[in-house]
Amino acid sequence: MPDLKVCVVVPTYNERENVGALVERIRGTGSGEADIMFVDDSSPDGTAEAVREMMREDPRLHLLVRGSKKGIGGAYIDGFREALRTLGPDVLVQIDADLQHPPAVIPLLVGSLSSGAGAAIASRYVRGGGSKGWSMSRRLVSRVANSYARTLLRLPVKDCTSGFRAMTRQSATRLVDSRLPARGFEFQVASVYVLKTGVKILEVPFIFEPRRIGSSKLGLPDVLRFMAAVLRLAIRPPRTPPA
């Protein structure tokens, strides 16, 4: 779908060493024309500076800086709002900065929306999907978190915590308008909860790669916050604006 305007939104916290390779891979694997919006929470390692450096050469790179580390969920909401307001994309893509999400899958996610779906999720838990180089414990935590959220919130997808997705402008607008109380990693499941009424959600298999540079920001406190947040969402469901 060459005439679709795509904006890739990338939350970053201490990803200075990854942003260059990410942009290269996005440009080199079928999304050459896409806008890329970084949402950086004033990373102490100077990620924003590295992005600004690249912006001098590439007018389709954009940067939204927030004052302090405020969570991946809020970064997506703020990035979507800014992208919708300033760039007018047809499709918004969510991807991590650390190359654990292979950019070559972006065209498949975007392309699958042509079937009329409102969102496409890159999934580890459908046939052909998986994750490389994970310890048993990380595997278990991911499986448990997934089943827990899927069951409690009745989510119609296998990989509801995946942070690699594409969605239509309409779906992204609904997420921004729904004022989701989901600032952290629970954003991934809360957004599926909002979108499941009204639109079709597809899953496309992908392999979650090991992180090569930098470290994960998802620690035990985040997992516990995630569990509590899902419980709160189940007890007090967020408002779901009409599709």
State the residues that interact with ligand GDD by CB under 6 A. 11-13, 15, 39-41, 69-72, 75, 96-98, 100, 142, 161, 163, 185, 188, 216-218
> Six-digit token pair at 238?
């967020």
Question: Taking CB under 5 A as the criterion, which residues in 113-152 touch Mn ion?
Answer: none
142 contacts which partner out of Mn ion, ligand GDD, none, CB within 5 to 8 A by kind?
Answer: ligand GDD
Question: 């310890």: which residue's tokens?
Answer: 135
CA distance 39 to 43: 10
Regarding 100 and contact with Mn ion (CB under 5 A), the answer is yes
> Six-digit token pair at 102?
């292979």
Q: Are strands 165-168 and 119-123 parallel, antiparallel or unpaired?
A: antiparallel
Binding mask 186-225 for Mn ion (x = CB under 5 A): -------------------------x--------------
- Minimum CB–partner distance for residue 39 and ligand GDD (Å): 5
161 contacts which partner out of ligand GDD, Mn ion, none, CB within 5 to 8 A by kind?
Answer: ligand GDD
Stretch that binds Mn ion, among 90-98, 103-111, 189-197, 229-237 (CB under 5 A): 90-98
CA distance 25 to 27: 5
Please identify which residue in 82, 98, 159, 203 interacts with Mn ion, judged by CB under 5 A.
Answer: 98
Q: Which is nearer to Mn ion, 115 or 135 (CB)?
A: 135
How far is C-alpha 38 from the chain's CA centre? 12
**Interacting residues toward Mn ion by CB under 5 A:** 96, 98, 100, 211
